[in-house]
Amino acid sequence: MRVAFVEEFGGVDSILMGELPAPVPAAGQAVVSVYGAGVGPWDVGMLGGGFPGTSLPYVPGQEVAGIVEAVGEGIDLAPGARVYGTLFPTGGGLAESAAVDADRLAPMPEKLDFVEAAGLVVAAGTAHEGLVDRGGLQQGQTVLVTAASGGVGTSAVQIAAALGARVLGVAREANHDFVRSLGASEVFDYRDADWPRQVRAAVPDGVDLLMDCAGGQTRDAAIGTVRDGGRASFIVIQDGPPQLERGITGESFAARVDRARLEALTRLVDAGSLRPVLAHVVPFDQAREALAQVAGRHAPGKIAVQIAQ
């Protein structure tokens, strides 16, 4: 089968296009003919050094959508089913076929095509976990989403708005109108050093929840906008543990997107409350370019790869 892969870890320039043996499903797995795949910052990071236990050749891609072609023992999905799911954190999605654990697959939303569905999996799954499971966001509460125009951020804004929260976003000024269109009531420019004070002026007691999708200095500044005893979810795990005070609780996490999470996303899509935001869709033979765009872009939304028509 045709794949995008690396023979040694190094970076985006290491990506090759070539042939590797097609996967065979183990017990509890389904082999999916991949039609669409999403790529994100985790893939770029993996190219730079991998993940403990990751072997070479390595195929990036943590999220896929396609058609089940074969199943292992104990699988309740039948060949021919249209599914979406994740291979996070070990990858394998930038390929014509991928073996995926069945508990991390679900029937894909009927409203979406394969590329749209693939682009939703990790970003929206991460946002949903950070807001609902870890953040405990409730109707009427206020949430601040940093990097609100990015892959996870665009999903977080939509999901928080669907939950009935007041949503504030942090993004570059050129993307403010777009973030508002997703459900944010106010948006602040992270390049303005005064933005944390502006958030506090809008919410004098502080926000109930911080959904930090940015990390770095933005993360550290955003913590100051959370109310005493508030909560925070952090998705940029390489920055190390955040420094929390004033009774604020929270931690960094890497989401585990399972079938229950995917089914929750499907319900939001079906209700018209969540849609994938794709910045670019790249042909399979330009997979290297897709990852380069992830590494250096500021366009709103996700990068996806069209594997097959």
Instruction: Provide mean pLDDT across the span 221-236.
Output: 97
Q: Are 79 and 70 in contact (CB under 8 A)?
A: yes
Judge: domain 2-122+276-306, CATH 2.102.10.10.
Answer: no
**Least confident window among 105-119, 169-183, 231-245, 275-289:** 231-245
Instruction: Tell me if domain 2-122+276-306 and domain 135-252 are identical in fold.
Output: no
pLDDT of 184 strictly over 90: yes
Instruction: Provide mean pLDDT across the span 245-250.
Output: 95
Instruction: Provide mean pLDDT across the span 224-230.
Output: 98
Confidence at 298, pLDDT banded by 50, 70, 90: low
Confidence at 285, pLDDT banded by 50, 70, 90: very high
What is the CATH superfamily name and number for domain 135-252? NAD(P)-binding Rossmann-like Domain (3.40.50.720)
Confidence at 237, pLDDT banded by 50, 70, 90: confident
Q: What is the pLDDT of residue 50?
A: 62
User: Domain coordinates of the chain in residue numbers?
Assistant: 2-122+276-306, 135-252
Q: What is the pLDDT of residue 18?
A: 97
Question: Phi then psi for 142, rounded to 5 degrees?
Answer: -115, 135
Q: What is the pLDDT of residue 37?
A: 98
* Cis, bond preceding 57 (omega within 30 deg of 0): yes
Q: Are strands 278-283 and 302-306 parallel, antiparallel or unpaired?
A: parallel
The pLDDT tens digits for 110-162 are: 999 999 999 999 999 999 999 999 999 999 999 999 999 999 999 999 999 99
**Least confident window among 127-131, 206-210, 213-217, 258-262:** 213-217
Buried b (16+ CB within 10 A) or exposed e, 45-54: bbbeebeeee
pLDDT of 243 strictly over 90: no
Instruction: Provide mean pLDDT across the span 236-244.
Output: 82
Instruction: Provide mean pLDDT across the span 29-53.
Output: 88
296 or 272: which leads in pLDDT: 272
| pTM for this model (two decimals) | 0.94
